[in-house]
Amino acid sequence: MAPERKIRTGFARRGADGRTLLHVVPAHRQHLHEVLPHLRPRDRAELDALGPRGAVAEAARAFALSPLRWAVLRGGRCVALFGARPFPGMPDTAAPWLFGTPGLDAEGRALARLGPLFAARMRAAWPRLVNMLHAPALAERPATARWLARCGFAVAAHPMPLGHGGAPFHPFAAGDVPAASLAPEQPTNTGG
Protein backbone atom coordinates (compact mmCIF):
# COMPACT_ATOMS: atom_id res chain seq x y z
CA MET A 1 0.00 0.00 0.00
CA ALA A 2 1.46 3.37 -1.04
CA PRO A 3 1.94 5.98 1.68
CA GLU A 4 -0.70 8.71 1.71
CA ARG A 5 0.55 11.91 0.11
CA LYS A 6 0.42 14.85 2.48
CA ILE A 7 -0.81 18.16 1.12
CA ARG A 8 0.63 21.26 2.74
CA THR A 9 -2.34 23.25 3.99
CA GLY A 10 -0.70 26.35 5.42
CA PHE A 11 0.88 29.38 3.82
CA ALA A 12 2.50 32.53 5.19
CA ARG A 13 3.37 35.82 3.46
CA ARG A 14 6.13 37.91 5.00
CA GLY A 15 6.68 41.65 4.79
CA ALA A 16 9.93 43.42 3.92
CA ASP A 17 10.89 43.36 7.60
CA GLY A 18 10.51 39.57 7.74
CA ARG A 19 7.38 39.66 9.88
CA THR A 20 4.54 37.37 8.86
CA LEU A 21 1.67 39.42 7.45
CA LEU A 22 -0.69 36.80 6.14
CA HIS A 23 -1.38 33.17 7.07
CA VAL A 24 -3.61 30.66 5.32
CA VAL A 25 -4.58 27.85 7.67
CA PRO A 26 -7.23 25.11 7.78
CA ALA A 27 -10.51 26.82 8.73
CA HIS A 28 -12.39 26.06 11.93
CA ARG A 29 -15.79 27.12 13.20
CA GLN A 30 -14.30 30.01 15.23
CA HIS A 31 -13.04 31.51 11.95
CA LEU A 32 -16.58 31.35 10.55
CA HIS A 33 -17.96 33.13 13.63
CA GLU A 34 -15.29 35.80 13.26
CA VAL A 35 -16.06 36.52 9.58
CA LEU A 36 -19.87 36.28 9.41
CA PRO A 37 -20.70 39.52 11.29
CA HIS A 38 -18.28 41.46 9.07
CA LEU A 39 -18.96 40.17 5.53
CA ARG A 40 -18.02 42.48 2.67
CA PRO A 41 -21.17 44.13 1.25
CA ARG A 42 -20.74 42.39 -2.14
CA ASP A 43 -20.37 38.98 -0.47
CA ARG A 44 -23.46 39.64 1.67
CA ALA A 45 -25.43 40.73 -1.44
CA GLU A 46 -24.36 37.61 -3.35
CA LEU A 47 -25.26 35.28 -0.51
CA ASP A 48 -28.58 37.09 0.07
CA ALA A 49 -29.43 36.72 -3.64
CA LEU A 50 -29.32 32.94 -3.31
CA GLY A 51 -32.52 32.55 -1.37
CA PRO A 52 -34.68 33.44 1.58
CA ARG A 53 -32.29 31.94 4.17
CA GLY A 54 -29.99 34.95 3.96
CA ALA A 55 -26.26 35.53 3.81
CA VAL A 56 -25.26 34.13 7.20
CA ALA A 57 -27.17 30.87 6.67
CA GLU A 58 -25.82 30.43 3.11
CA ALA A 59 -22.24 31.07 4.24
CA ALA A 60 -22.57 28.69 7.19
CA ARG A 61 -24.05 26.02 4.89
CA ALA A 62 -21.17 26.28 2.39
CA PHE A 63 -18.69 26.07 5.27
CA ALA A 64 -20.39 23.05 6.87
CA LEU A 65 -20.60 21.09 3.59
CA SER A 66 -16.95 21.68 2.63
CA PRO A 67 -14.30 19.07 3.42
CA LEU A 68 -11.63 21.48 2.11
CA ARG A 69 -11.73 24.95 3.66
CA TRP A 70 -9.17 27.54 4.66
CA ALA A 71 -9.00 30.73 6.68
CA VAL A 72 -6.97 33.77 5.62
CA LEU A 73 -5.51 35.44 8.72
CA ARG A 74 -3.95 38.89 8.81
CA GLY A 75 -2.49 40.02 12.09
CA GLY A 76 -4.14 37.05 13.78
CA ARG A 77 -7.62 38.08 12.60
CA CYS A 78 -9.61 36.11 10.05
CA VAL A 79 -10.30 38.25 6.95
CA ALA A 80 -11.65 35.52 4.64
CA LEU A 81 -12.76 31.94 4.29
CA PHE A 82 -12.65 29.82 1.16
CA GLY A 83 -13.06 26.21 0.22
CA ALA A 84 -14.97 23.73 -1.92
CA ARG A 85 -17.96 21.52 -1.33
CA PRO A 86 -18.98 18.42 -3.29
CA PHE A 87 -21.48 19.23 -6.02
CA PRO A 88 -24.76 17.31 -5.57
CA GLY A 89 -25.40 14.79 -8.31
CA MET A 90 -22.11 15.40 -10.13
CA PRO A 91 -19.31 12.98 -9.20
CA ASP A 92 -15.77 14.36 -9.23
CA THR A 93 -17.19 17.90 -9.10
CA ALA A 94 -17.13 20.55 -6.39
CA ALA A 95 -18.32 24.12 -5.96
CA PRO A 96 -15.53 26.47 -4.81
CA TRP A 97 -16.49 29.47 -2.70
CA LEU A 98 -14.89 32.49 -1.06
CA PHE A 99 -16.23 35.21 1.21
CA GLY A 100 -14.54 37.70 3.45
CA THR A 101 -14.46 40.91 5.40
CA PRO A 102 -13.44 44.31 3.99
CA GLY A 103 -9.92 43.47 5.26
CA LEU A 104 -9.61 40.93 2.44
CA ASP A 105 -9.54 43.71 -0.15
CA ALA A 106 -6.10 44.79 1.12
CA GLU A 107 -4.71 41.36 0.17
CA GLY A 108 -5.20 41.53 -3.61
CA ARG A 109 -1.57 40.81 -4.49
CA ALA A 110 -1.37 37.86 -2.10
CA LEU A 111 -4.66 36.48 -3.43
CA ALA A 112 -3.35 36.77 -6.98
CA ARG A 113 -0.47 34.46 -6.00
CA LEU A 114 -2.43 32.17 -3.69
CA GLY A 115 -5.49 31.64 -5.86
CA PRO A 116 -3.85 29.32 -8.42
CA LEU A 117 -2.13 27.32 -5.65
CA PHE A 118 -5.32 26.62 -3.75
CA ALA A 119 -7.41 26.11 -6.92
CA ALA A 120 -4.89 23.39 -7.83
CA ARG A 121 -5.38 21.81 -4.39
CA MET A 122 -9.13 21.77 -4.96
CA ARG A 123 -8.68 20.27 -8.45
CA ALA A 124 -6.47 17.55 -6.94
CA ALA A 125 -9.51 16.49 -4.91
CA TRP A 126 -12.12 17.13 -7.63
CA PRO A 127 -11.18 17.30 -11.33
CA ARG A 128 -14.10 19.64 -12.06
CA LEU A 129 -14.91 22.85 -10.20
CA VAL A 130 -18.06 24.83 -11.02
CA ASN A 131 -19.98 27.67 -9.44
CA MET A 132 -21.60 31.03 -10.10
CA LEU A 133 -20.51 34.62 -9.49
CA HIS A 134 -23.09 37.31 -8.73
CA ALA A 135 -23.24 39.62 -11.77
CA PRO A 136 -23.28 42.88 -9.72
CA ALA A 137 -20.09 41.75 -7.90
CA LEU A 138 -18.40 41.09 -11.23
CA ALA A 139 -19.54 44.47 -12.57
CA GLU A 140 -18.16 46.18 -9.44
CA ARG A 141 -14.81 44.36 -9.65
CA PRO A 142 -14.05 43.21 -13.21
CA ALA A 143 -10.59 42.10 -12.03
CA THR A 144 -12.38 39.15 -10.40
CA ALA A 145 -12.79 37.51 -13.84
CA ARG A 146 -9.05 37.92 -14.51
CA TRP A 147 -8.23 36.43 -11.09
CA LEU A 148 -10.54 33.47 -11.75
CA ALA A 149 -8.87 32.97 -15.16
CA ARG A 150 -5.48 32.99 -13.44
CA CYS A 151 -6.83 30.27 -11.14
CA GLY A 152 -7.78 28.17 -14.18
CA PHE A 153 -11.49 29.04 -14.42
CA ALA A 154 -13.44 30.11 -17.48
CA VAL A 155 -16.12 32.71 -16.67
CA ALA A 156 -19.25 32.86 -18.84
CA ALA A 157 -19.68 36.23 -20.54
CA HIS A 158 -23.43 36.29 -19.99
CA PRO A 159 -25.23 35.82 -16.67
CA MET A 160 -28.10 33.43 -16.09
CA PRO A 161 -30.92 33.70 -13.52
CA LEU A 162 -30.38 31.88 -10.23
CA GLY A 163 -31.56 31.94 -6.66
CA HIS A 164 -34.00 34.28 -5.01
CA GLY A 165 -35.92 36.26 -7.61
CA GLY A 166 -33.80 35.02 -10.50
CA ALA A 167 -30.78 37.18 -9.64
CA PRO A 168 -28.12 37.26 -12.40
CA PHE A 169 -25.08 35.02 -11.91
CA HIS A 170 -22.15 34.25 -14.24
CA PRO A 171 -21.22 30.54 -14.35
CA PHE A 172 -17.52 29.75 -13.98
CA ALA A 173 -15.78 26.40 -14.28
CA ALA A 174 -12.42 24.61 -14.36
CA GLY A 175 -11.77 21.13 -15.69
CA ASP A 176 -13.83 19.14 -18.16
CA VAL A 177 -17.27 20.64 -17.51
CA PRO A 178 -20.03 20.20 -20.10
CA ALA A 179 -21.89 23.46 -20.75
CA ALA A 180 -25.21 21.73 -20.00
CA SER A 181 -24.07 21.10 -16.43
CA LEU A 182 -24.04 24.83 -15.68
CA ALA A 183 -27.75 24.86 -14.89
CA PRO A 184 -29.41 27.46 -12.66
CA GLU A 185 -30.13 24.85 -9.95
CA GLN A 186 -26.45 24.72 -8.98
CA PRO A 187 -25.37 25.64 -5.48
CA THR A 188 -23.32 28.77 -5.17
CA ASN A 189 -21.46 30.70 -2.48
CA THR A 190 -18.47 32.29 -4.09
CA GLY A 191 -17.83 35.87 -3.28
CA GLY A 192 -15.49 37.82 -5.46
Q: Give the model's pLDDT for residue 167.
A: 94
User: For the chain, what percent of residues have pLDDT higher than 90?
Assistant: 62
Strands 128-134 and 93-100: parallel
Phi then psi for residue 125, to 5 deg, are -85, -35
The secondary structure of the chain as a DSSP string is -PPPPP----EEEE-TTS-EEEEEEE--HHHHHHHGGG--HHHHHHHHHT-TT-HHHHHHHHHHT-SEEEEEEETTEEEEEEEEEEPTT-TTEEEEEEEE-GGGGGGHHHHHHHHHHHHHHHHHH-SEEEEEEEHHHHHH-THHHHHHHHTT-EE-SS-EEETGGGEEEEEEEESS--GGG--TT-------
Which of 3-12, 14-23, 34-43 has maximum average pLDDT?
Answer: 34-43
CB 172 within 8 A of CB 165: no
Would you say residue 171 has pLDDT above 50? yes
The structural domains of the chain, with segments of one domain joined by +, span: 11-181
Check whether 153 has a pLDDT greater than 60.
yes
Predicted confidence band of residue 13 (pLDDT cuts 50, 70, 90): low
CATH of span 11-181 = 3.40.630.30
Q: What is the pLDDT of residue 44?
A: 94
* C-beta neighbour count of 18 within 10 angstroms: 6
Give the per-residue pLDDT at 191: 46
pLDDT of 140 over the 80 cut: yes
pLDDT in tens, 19-61: 557 889 999 999 999 999 999 999 999 999 987 888 999 999 9
Model confidence at 130: pLDDT above 80: yes
